[in-house]
Amino acid sequence: MRRFFIAGNWKMNKTGAEAVELAKALKDKVDGIDKVDIAICPPFTALVSTSEIIKNSNVQLGAQNVYWEDQGAFTGEISVPMLINAGCQYVIIGHSERRQFFGETNQTVGKKLQKVLDSTLNPIFCVGETLNERQSGITEKIVQQQITEALNGIPKENVSRITIAYEPVWAIGTGVTATPEQAQDVHAFIRNLLTDLYDSKAASEIRIQYGGSMNAANAEELLKKPDIDGGLIGGAALKADSFAEIIKTANSL
Ligand code: 13P
């Protein structure tokens, strides 16, 4: 049985003090919840301070990006050892905003995945089609390409440590959520693809989160679908109340 995994991607929001306040409020609201894995992914500048707040709680820490070298002349980048040292257990890789605005490709995403899987960090690997791609009927082709190219060379022993986040680009930050059926269809497609690339055991262990305008009102119908194992939440994770509601919904299913 896969445990639900609800993660909050704070994106480029919250100063240090604001991040500490949100982490504190969330920690109190989800205290005692034990059937759901919970993570917050604040900006780099708030990792250390929030890690102090959630230490010894059921809330874990993730970063939003990482580079594949350990150290050196890579101005502006952050490495895997730095994230581990800051208290992270997870890192988001290949978010559509990084692909769209910062030139990430399936190849760079693959290099980051390899690097992270060689460490104790666990990746949240994002895939998803644009509106134009969905309307052209090539959603599955795009998602298949994103997954096969990025997982190229990643061995079976490591693959179940990956969480895949299916985030249709047209649903991110738009208030337009994929219907539970649309999401389930792509999640099932991804799981079948993982069976082909690895085997049914690995495919059944990998968690696949949905992301894209998920909120307290629509979480239940999405999370009830058999291949939806959690959520990667943007806007609704910026308020302790709405994020805790989603976590409680998952805990009740
Ligand atoms: P929203 O929940 O704001 O649509 O963002 C989703 C997302 O991109 C999470 O990574």
Relative to the CA of 172, which ligand 1 atom is closest?
A: 4
pLDDT at residue 175 in the model: 85
Residue among 93, 99, 167, 246 whose CB has most ligand 1 atoms within 8 A, to mutate? 167
pLDDT at residue 130 in the model: 95
- Residue identified by tokens 């980048």 is 77
pLDDT at residue 1 in the model: 81
Residue among 213, 218, 246 whose CB has most ligand 1 atoms within 8 A, to mutate? 213
pLDDT at residue 29 in the model: 97
Cβ within 8 Å of residue 180, ≥6 positions away: 221, 222, 224, 225, 228
Q: How much distance in Å is there from the Cα of 172 to the middle of ligand 1?
A: 5
Cβ within 8 Å of residue 97, ≥6 positions away: 11, 172
Question: What element of type H or E holds 125?
Answer: strand 122-127
What tokens were used for 78? 């952050």
Could you tell me if the CB of 230 is within 6 A of ligand 1? no
Could you tell me if the CB of 8 is within 6 A of ligand 1? no
Could you tell me if the CB of 172 is within 6 A of ligand 1? yes
Task: Report the predicted TM-score, pTM, of the whole model to 2 decimal places.
Answer: 0.96
Q: 148 burial class (0-12, 13-18, 19+ CB within 10 angstroms)?
A: middle
Domains of the chain and CATH, by start: 65-252 (3.20.20.70)
Question: What element of type H or E holds 204?
Answer: helix 200-205
Q: pLDDT tens per residue, the chain (253 residues)? A: 899 999 999 999 999 999 999 999 999 999 999 999 999 999 999 999 999 999 999 999 999 999 999 999 999 999 999 999 999 999 999 999 999 999 999 999 999 999 999 999 999 999 999 999 999 999 999 999 999 999 999 999 999 999 999 999 999 989 889 999 999 999 999 999 999 999 999 999 999 999 999 999 999 999 999 999 999 999 999 999 999 999 999 999 9
Considering only CA atoms, which of 239, 242, 232, 241 is closest in space to residue 4? 232
Residue 208 — φ and ψ, nearest 5°?
Answer: -120, 110
Could you tell me if the CB of 214 is within 6 A of ligand 1? yes
Could you tell me if the CB of 203 is within 6 A of ligand 1? no
Q: How much distance in Å is there from the Cα of 54 to the middle of ligand 1?
A: 22
